[in-house]
Chain A
């Protein structure tokens, strides 16, 4: 059983609101990732982190931002939500680079 948790699981929010998606892991992994998942599409990497105080943007451009103040915590923030942000967001962590990742249960975001 993976020890990585995402909250909330589901979120419906109005346009223009600021939101933070939470992700925490208890495995002590340095590497953490945020993926965006849409039906019938590959998972797209939007942010990643090598460790504390390290954050990088992924392949898919995203208006979201992330922070990594503690090893176990990797929240994602949208300053002003738009309908185009409607998607499923998956957080993951791994012990080392380029190896298996462990996923949270995801947050399904709907912006109306």
Chain B
């Protein structure tokens, strides 16, 4: 069964610093991979989506993610953090089963220090 692992439940960066949030998937190469963002007391918003064949995926708010098959990774990056980036970020992969749902990691809470 598919699963994703997010390393680091909490990441803290200074404003203007590089943001790196880690996600590794298990099993075979999935057809899709997703990053979602959740602001406090909000639902999940799609940040970006990987589809087969792409390696670097650009998303909203200046975020991008690189798919690396050799490392089974799909890490999320942003060159320069902004205070408004403070939120929780979830990596997700399709379950691949008949339920048709997404399987989510436990999330990484990003704090941005002024």
Contact = CB atoms under 8 A, between A and B. Distances in A.
Q: Which bracket fits the contact residues of B?
A: 20 to 34
Contacts, number: 67
B101 A33 contact: yes
A59 B3 CA distance: 14
Given A99-B32, A100-B34, A43 B46 contact: no
Give the most central of A2, A4, A108: most B CB within 10 Å: A2
Contact of B43 (A45, A94, A97, A103): A103
Given A31-B100, A98-B100, A100-B34, A40 B107 contact: yes
B9 A40 contact: yes
Contact of A42 (B32, B34, B46, B104): B104
A103 B44 contact: yes
B42 A106 contact: yes
B49 interface: yes
B27 interface: no
Interface residues of A, number: 31
Contacts of A6: 43
Contacts of A59: 99
Interface of A: 2, 4, 6, 9, 31, 33, 40-43, 45, 48, 50, 56, 58-59, 90, 92, 94, 96-106, 108
Interface of B: 9, 31-32, 34, 36, 41-46, 49, 90, 94-96, 99-107
11 contacts: A2-B43, A42-B105, A43-B90, A45-B101, A56-B99, A58-B99, A98-B32, A98-B102, A100-B46, A103-B44, A106-B43
